[in-house]
Every structure is written in structure tokens, then in C-alpha cells.
Amino acid sequence: MTHPSRRPPRSRRDRHGRGLRGRLVPAEVPLSRTRGEQFDDLVLDAVEDLERRWERELAGVEFAVEDVPWVEHTDPDEVVLDADVLDDGGVPLARLLPAHREDGREVPPRIIVYRRPLELRAGERDDLADLVRDVVVDQVAVLLGRDPEEIDPTT
């Protein structure tokens, strides 16, 4: 038996019954990109510039972006840290995981860039772009056993 006083569940809308009508900005407009997507673009730009010059040396290297470092479950023997990348000895800005064998297969070296620590250290977007580039260059320098100035003379 149904009760006539029961109303069907209301849809989630504002108090005027309008709710969200759709995207505020078209997908083609840069404003519609999230901060994470914009950060990924900065890392890709830095990596592409370096790959042009160091194509053979960086052929198998994987680059990744994570929001924050996951420090607790990382084996210290697997991590190569550059003192400059740690900045103040606190939260890492990036991490280099060297090549290793896992379950009988070869795992390539991996450079992980951490978005939130870098965003917090950079004041403006231009500063963030420079900082991302410096961190990527430092990690590539550690990986290749070279000076950062040799990897990217513009730094």
C-alpha cells in the first residue's frame, strides 16, 4: 500500500529548482583545465625539451607526476635522492627510482615529480614552471651522473 502523502525523492538542485546547468567554461578554453592538468603540461614541456637533447640516454626513462610523496612505504634502498631536490631536508619535490628487476622483468628508471610540494614552494605560475624545470633537470642529472648545467645549460 502506497501512501499518497509521500513525495518522490527530489533531485539535487538548488532551492529554486535550477541546479547546475552545465559547464561554465567550454572545454577548449584553458580555464577549464584543472591545476593538475596544467602541472602535467609543465612537466611534459620540461621533459620534451630535455628529450630533444638527450634522446638516446632518456629513451627508456619513465616520468610520472604524483600529488604528494608516499614516503612511509618506500624502501630507502630503492630511492636515490639529490640533496638540492629536497630543498630544506623536508618533503621531497621529486624522486628517482633506478632501474631494477621485478618478478623476472626489467623495470626502467622512473622520475616522479610531486605536484603539491612544488606548488607550495612556487609563488606564481611562472615560478612554478621554472621550479618544475629545475627539479626535472636535477633528477635527470642524477640519473645520468652529470652536472645539471651540462644537462640544461640554461639553468
Task: State residue 81's pLDDT score.
Answer: 47
Confidence check: pLDDT of 19 > 70: no
Confidence of residue 112 (pLDDT cuts 50, 70, 90): very high
Task: State residue 145's pLDDT score.
Answer: 94
Confidence check: pLDDT of 2 > 90: no
- List all residues 6 or more positions away from 71 whose beta carbon is below 8 Å from its beta carbon: 92
Task: State residue 58's pLDDT score.
Answer: 93
Q: How far apart are CA 130 and CA 135, in angstroms?
A: 9
Confidence check: pLDDT of 56 > 90: yes
Strands 110-114, 62-66: pairing kind: parallel
Q: How far apart are CA 120 and CA 112, in angstroms?
A: 17
Specify the amino acid at residue 29: V
Higher pLDDT, 130 or 22: 130
Q: How far apart are CA 81 and CA 111, in angstroms?
A: 11
